Structure 1
Amino acid sequence: MITPEYCVAMARYNAWQNRQLKAAFEALPAAELTKNRKAFFGSLLGTANHLLWGDLMWMSRFDGGTAPEGGIGGSTGLCETGLAWSVERFRADARILLWAEGLHAVDLVGDLTWWSGALGREMRKPRSLCVVHMFNHQTHHRGQIHAMLTAAGAVAPVSDLPFMPEDGPWL
Structure 2
Amino acid sequence: MITLEFARMMARYNHWQNRSLVAAADGLSDAARWQDRGAFFGSIAETLNHVLWDDRIWLARLRGDREIEAQINARHPYTDAPHDWPQFIAERAALDEDILSFTDALTQTDLERAVSWRRGDDEVETNLGFNLAHMFNHQTHHRGQIHAMLTAAGATPEPTDLQMLLLLDTV
* Same fold by TM-score greater than 0.5: yes
CA distance in 2, matches of 1:81, 1:58: 23
Could you tell me which residue of structure 1 aligns to residue 57 of structure 2? 57
What stretches of structure 1 of length at least 5 have no aligned partner? none
Report the Cα offset of residue 153 of structure 1.
1.7
Normalising by the residue count of structure 1, what TM-score does the alignment of the two structures yield?
A: 0.90
Report the Cα offset of residue 51 of structure 1.
0.2
* Native 8 Å contact 2:114 2:128 kept in 1: yes
CA distance in 1, matches of 2:158, 2:168: 18
Could you tell me which residue of structure 2 aligns to residue 113 of structure 1? 116
CA-to-aligned-CA distance 1:20-50 (integer Å, 9 cap, x gap): 1121111111110011112111110100000
Normalising by the residue count of structure 2, what TM-score does the alignment of the two structures yield?
A: 0.90
2:99 to 82, 96, 107: 96
Could you tell me which residue of structure 2 aligns to residue 12 of structure 1? 12
1:1-171 paired onto structure 2 within 5 Å: 1-64=1-64, 66-67=68-69, 69-70=72-73, 74-77=76-79, 78-116=81-119, 119-165=120-166, 168-170=169-171
Percent of residue pairs bearing the same amino acid type:
40
* Native 8 Å contact 1:149 1:155 kept in 2: yes
CA distance in 1, matches of 2:169, 2:58: 24
* 1:111 aligned partner, one-letter code: A
Aligned length: 167
Q: In structure 2, do the counterparts of structure 1 residues 71 and 42 end up closer, same or farther at CA, with 3 Å as the change threshold?
A: farther
Report the Cα offset of residue 56 of structure 1.
0.3
Report the Cα offset of residue 151 of structure 1.
1.4
What stretches of structure 2 of length at least 5 have no aligned partner? none
